[in-house]
Chains A and B, each alone.
Chain A
């Protein structure tokens, strides 16, 4: 089927698993309505928004080998665009989206130009530093709430095409955006650009000697990832009806990285699985104790120590093994 960039049998475990996941995603709101109401839709929305952000980071971290530790910056950008424009009476959703994407692209381009000239630990540190810079910038914007953040006066208005004023509406829009992103990421990974990124992740020197101006391609990926995360930020701002500098704290970038590793680095579906597990885990532990960080901290440590392929990655490895056995 030309819809898929690689050949997958409809009977393979992978196909079935992903199809099941999509079905579950589609039926959450009606089930939640029966089971216990709006809390579950909000929870699911949080999971999906972070899954989107993590998926955008996975392109850089998993496939291109670029460990960006400041990706949460774009979550903040998206949320603040919604809050600030709404504050000034501008509620047109398409305008919100356009500005969020444009701003994310510009900032990603400028910071990328500096970061991508470095590698290894320097790259990690510099991406962290830039995110911190915007964190401080946001806290110093006293007019827009500063440290306390800014409430979103009215959600982005996408009518008459669709409405995200209700959580259910927002939920389905988020599902569509997430699924589209995962699909396009899948295509990108197998495309020419995907090959360049994956090859460069393995050996930059070699890629240059083969005729590829690697920086250019990495910058393109960096900008794309920033834009998608900016979109996630817009959705987050709408979900929480709030924009806060806390969205850009580097601990949030750390959360995204944990989700990716937990779910499976360099897999398309991994970030979604990781987001589901991590957010649910966090919610359960928080319900037991207000000091849930004391438990989550060591869990992150254990994930870093033991999770080599992640949940979905291990599933794919198992699938390959049974394939060989046939």
Chain B
């Protein structure tokens, strides 16, 4: 049994009377793709927000690479190797695609108190950024403003930003949100190329993508994990069917 690189124990969060996370236990094994699925409002994004540190849990502990990170601020978790993408695209619209990725690379490349040298002329940052853009298939649009990119391209850019910093764990919040069929298929292809090199916690609604990519799946319903297992175990689980009663598996 390979060690878990990310361990969540007893994570709990409520907003008033609404239990958003109810005593969640989850393990992420190194280099696995672990998908988290569940009906809307189940608390999936809130889970990621707590893992990255943007939201403070009411109770519970998060272990990353052996250490307790529950009290660490967001930027320190990022520097330890935890990175995330956002469900609502959060690229920087006033910068080019290349600059966006370069900023992401800069975050993990020492301090940013430099006030004299133009960052755009830093060879290492630029090279690493172009490589990441190449990896996600966005190399041609490197010099386009992020605000001018199509929605799918911006999702790709989000992924490139998560990749460039050589993170150990990627928390991907619905990377295919708002994408059409062809764009989704490219994204799935891209993610499957990265499979095995990165550990991924993948939140997705697109079931085709989930079953194509996931090594293991956890099902989150009303803030509680009701099942964890291999794709076939989950597909055949009666509890999961019950939770999804009325919902179809067909992707968008």
Contacts and interface: CB of A to CB of B under 8 A. Distances in A.
A213 B113 contact: no
B94 A191 contact: no
Contact of B114 (A193, A199, A205): A193
A128 interface: no
Given A211-B78, A211-B165, A202 B92 contact: yes
A6 interface: yes
Contact of A211 (B79, B94, B95, B102): B79
Contacts of B86: 206
A187 interface: yes
Contact of B84 (A190, A209, A217): A209
Interface in B90-130: 90, 92-95, 99, 102-104, 106-108, 112-120
Nearest to B79: A211
A192 B104 contact: no
A211 B118 contact: no
Contacts of B78: 208-211
Taking residues whose C-beta sits less than 8 angstroms from the other chain, chain B's interface range is 20 to 34
Nearest to B82: A209
Contacts of A190: 118-120
Contacts of B115: 184, 187-188, 191-194
A202 B112 contact: no
A70 to B, nearest CB: 24
B39 interface: no
Q: For A6, A205, A214, which residue has the most chain B Cβ atoms within 10 angstroms?
A: A205
B112 A193 contact: yes
A205 B90 contact: yes
A96 interface: no
B12 interface: no
Contacts of B244: none
A199 B103 contact: yes
B143 interface: no
Contacts of B106: 192, 195-196
Contacts of A220: 113
Given A202-B93, A210-B104, A191 B118 contact: yes
A98 interface: no
A30 interface: no
Interface string A46-90: 000000000000000000000000000000000000000000000
Contact of A202 (B94, B102, B116): B94
A155 interface: no
A188 B113 CA distance: 10
Contacts of A188: 115-116
B118 A5 contact: yes
B54 interface: yes
Taking residues whose C-beta sits less than 8 angstroms from the other chain, chain A's interface range is 20 to 34
B26 to A, nearest CB: 20
A76 to B, nearest CB: 26
A213 B75 contact: yes
B200 interface: no
Contacts of B161: 210
Contact of B92 (A193, A203, A212, A217): A203
Given A208-B78, A209-B54, A210-B103, A194 B93 contact: no
B75 A211 contact: yes
A192 B106 CA distance: 8
B94 A208 contact: no
Contacts of A194: 115, 119
A208 B103 contact: no
A195 B116 CA distance: 12
B90 A6 contact: no
Nearest to B90: A206
Interface string A269-290: 0000000000000000000000
B178 interface: no
B62 interface: no
A199 B92 CA distance: 7
A212 B119 contact: no
A127 B1 CA distance: 56
Nearest to A203: B90
A212 B120 CA distance: 18
B163 interface: no
Nearest to B158: A206
Nearest to A217: B112
Contacts of B84: 209
Interface of A: 5-6, 184, 187-188, 190-196, 198-199, 202-203, 205-214, 217, 220
Given A195-B112, A195-B119, A208-B54, 13 more contacts: A6-B120, A192-B119, A193-B112, A195-B103, A199-B92, A203-B90, A206-B86, A206-B90, A207-B103, A209-B78, A210-B78, A210-B104, A220-B113
